[in-house]
């Protein structure tokens, strides 16, 4: 009896906390501001900003999650994710009125690390929940579009929350950035060619493991503003890597499978990449000759769970130790497009059915134009 009452009161106070923070819109940052803050800010300022900003971003997603189809909310994996968000919000809220002493800030930093660990597999777990939902009954069309809409906002919010947490723990905590020249998770001089080649090589390795062959890379760079300089912008290298790795896996699978279907004995056509930096845009153009996508399917490719590859085994099964699949979850394109859009960029895909596909990734070349693109909570809902 006591336990039930306790749980109910916990639940009520969580709902209260969610309502409180969800009334505020997030404070979007620009890449310029993030870089400046990493150089000139301190742990205390960061603590004061994040102890409010992180709960605001978490709470607005919890509120939106509450509007999902009730049957989806009952799926065990969805409940798990919901629970993680609730616990993390509680933990952050406990810092609301504390004085920013050295000890408190240290505790806050540890809390952020714990939250990051807790939320590590959110994407896979929620994807698992969506699979459970569609495997256990018919999904109505309006439910499908509601979920797709939500997932875009939810995953985008998650990208932003992770970046803010990394900036704190790496710039002001004890965690070290991947490279000494990085400012936290951000590289103020991210050399595009290096990351693109890196992603290509790893996708190639995966492709060869799967098909025994893989296309080669033909890369060209044009710096239209400073022709003699290597191309770089301030960016999050892991985001760029993610985008390129997903696009290369898709281009390679299409190239190999199309050549096989044509019974072609010629050498595989290469994947062509052009990286062009102009005054405003940094554009990466990836072109393959993998047979393209028919127009009837073109509007589906950015849907979560849309894939023409066989679905691999369970997403969250950590016991599973088989090879990493090349395709099949249908999360590659929608998530990559979120990464591209997050700092005011974009991704577009155009195809010629029977020939090949062109993917365009647009990034902001100007730091103060690269502002966070965030889901703003619809307060009328
Ligand atoms: P997955 O790779 O897991 O199938 P994606 O979101 O990466 O999921 O891609 C969705 C679908 O879009 C693919 O299954 C494929 O049918 C199609 N597609 C994506 N890129 C290409 C490409 N370069 N050429 C042909 N088809 C593609
Ligand atoms: Mg893919």
CB atoms within 10 A of CB 102: 9
The catalytic residue among 82, 152, 250, 344 is: 250
Alpha carbon distance 318, 253 (integer Å): 25
Q: How confident is the model at residue 328, as a pLDDT?
A: 85
Residue-wise pLDDT tens digits, 314-344? 666 555 556 678 888 999 999 999 999 999 9
Token pair 């960016």 is at which residue? 235
Query: Using CB atoms within 10 A of its CB, is residue 195 exposed (0-12), middle (13-18) or buried (19+)?
Result: buried
**Measured CA distances, 80 to 22, 158, 177, 305 (Å):** 21, 16, 30, 20
ipTM higher than 0.85? Answer: yes
pLDDT range class, residue 1, cuts 50, 70, 90: low
Pocket test for ligand 1, best of 301, 334, 349, 353 (most atoms within 8 A of CB): 301
Q: Which residues contact 283 (CB under 8 A, 6 or more apart)?
A: 274, 275, 276, 360, 361, 362, 363
* Pair of tokens at residue 226: 């400073």
Select from 46, 28, 338 the least CA-distant residue to 167: 46
pTM above 0.90, yes or no: yes
Examine the residue annotation and report whether 246 is marked as an active-site residue of this protein. yes
The arithmetic mean of pLDDT across residues 99-118, rounded, is: 98
Examine the residue annotation and report whether 250 is marked as an active-site residue of this protein. yes
* Pair of tokens at residue 61: 């997603």
Q: 308 CA distance to ligand 2 centroid (A)?
A: 10
Query: Which ligand 1 atom lies nearest to the CA of residue 326?
Result: 2
Examine the residue annotation and report whether 202 is marked as an active-site residue of this protein. no
pLDDT range class, residue 379, cuts 50, 70, 90: very low
Q: How confident is the model at residue 213, as a pLDDT?
A: 97
The catalytic residue among 53, 82, 119, 246 is: 246
Examine the residue annotation and report whether 82 is marked as an active-site residue of this protein. no
Pocket test for ligand 1, best of 214, 243, 247, 250 (most atoms within 8 A of CB): 250
**Measured CA distances, 250 to 148, 260, 356 (Å):** 21, 15, 11
Residue-wise pLDDT tens digits, 112-160? 999 999 999 999 999 999 999 999 999 999 999 999 999 999 999 999 9
Q: How confident is the model at residue 127, as a pLDDT?
A: 92
CB atoms within 10 A of CB 71: 13
pLDDT at residue 12 greater than cutoff 50: yes
């Amino acid at each position: 009896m006591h336990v039930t009452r306790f749980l109910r009161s916990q639940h009520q106070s969580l709902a209260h906390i969610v309502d409180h923070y969800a009334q505020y819109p997030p404070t979007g940052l620009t890449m310029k501001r993030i870089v400046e803050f990493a150089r000139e800010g301190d742990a205390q300022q960061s603590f004061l900003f994040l102890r409010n900003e992180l709960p605001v971003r978490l709470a607005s997603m919890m509120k939106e999650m509450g509007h999902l189809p009730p049957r989806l909310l009952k799926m065990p994996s969805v409940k798990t994710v919901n629970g993680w968000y609730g616990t993390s919000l509680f933990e952050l809220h406990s810092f609301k009125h504390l004085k920013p002493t050295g000890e408190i800030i240290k505790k806050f930093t540890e809390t952020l690390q714990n939250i990051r660990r807790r939320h590590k597999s959110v994407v896979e777990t929620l994807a698992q929940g969506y699979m459970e939902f569609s495997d256990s009954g018919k999904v109505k069309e309006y439910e499908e579009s509601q979920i797709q809409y939500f997932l875009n906002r939810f995953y985008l919010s998650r990208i932003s929350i992770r970046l803010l947490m990394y900036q704190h723990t790496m710039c002001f905590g004890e965690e070290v950035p991947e490279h000494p020249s990085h400012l936290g998770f951000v590289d103020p001089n991210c050399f595009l060619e290096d990351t693109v080649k890196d992603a290509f090589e790893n996708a190639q390795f995966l492709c060869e493991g799967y098909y025994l062959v893989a296309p080669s890379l033909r890369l060209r760079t044009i710096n239209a503003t400073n022709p003699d300089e290597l191309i770089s912008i301030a960016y999050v290298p892991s985001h760029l890597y993610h985008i390129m790795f997903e696009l290369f896996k898709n281009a390679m699978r299409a190239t190999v499978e199309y050549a096989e279907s044509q019974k072609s004995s010629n050498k595989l056509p290469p994947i062509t990449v052009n990286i062009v930096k102009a005054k405003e845009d940094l554009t990466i153009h990836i072109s393959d000759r993998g047979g393209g996508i028919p127009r009837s399917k073109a509007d589906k490719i950015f849907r979560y769970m849309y894939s023409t590859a066989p679905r691999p085994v369970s997403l969250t099964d950590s016991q599973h130790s088989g090879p990493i699949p090349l395709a099949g979850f249908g999360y590659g394109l929608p998530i990559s497009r979120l990464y591209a859009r997050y700092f005011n960029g974009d991704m577009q895909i155009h195809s010629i059915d029977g020939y090949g596909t062109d993917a365009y990734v647009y990034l902001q070349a100007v730091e103060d134009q690269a502002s966070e693109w965030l889901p703003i909570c619809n307060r009328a809902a």
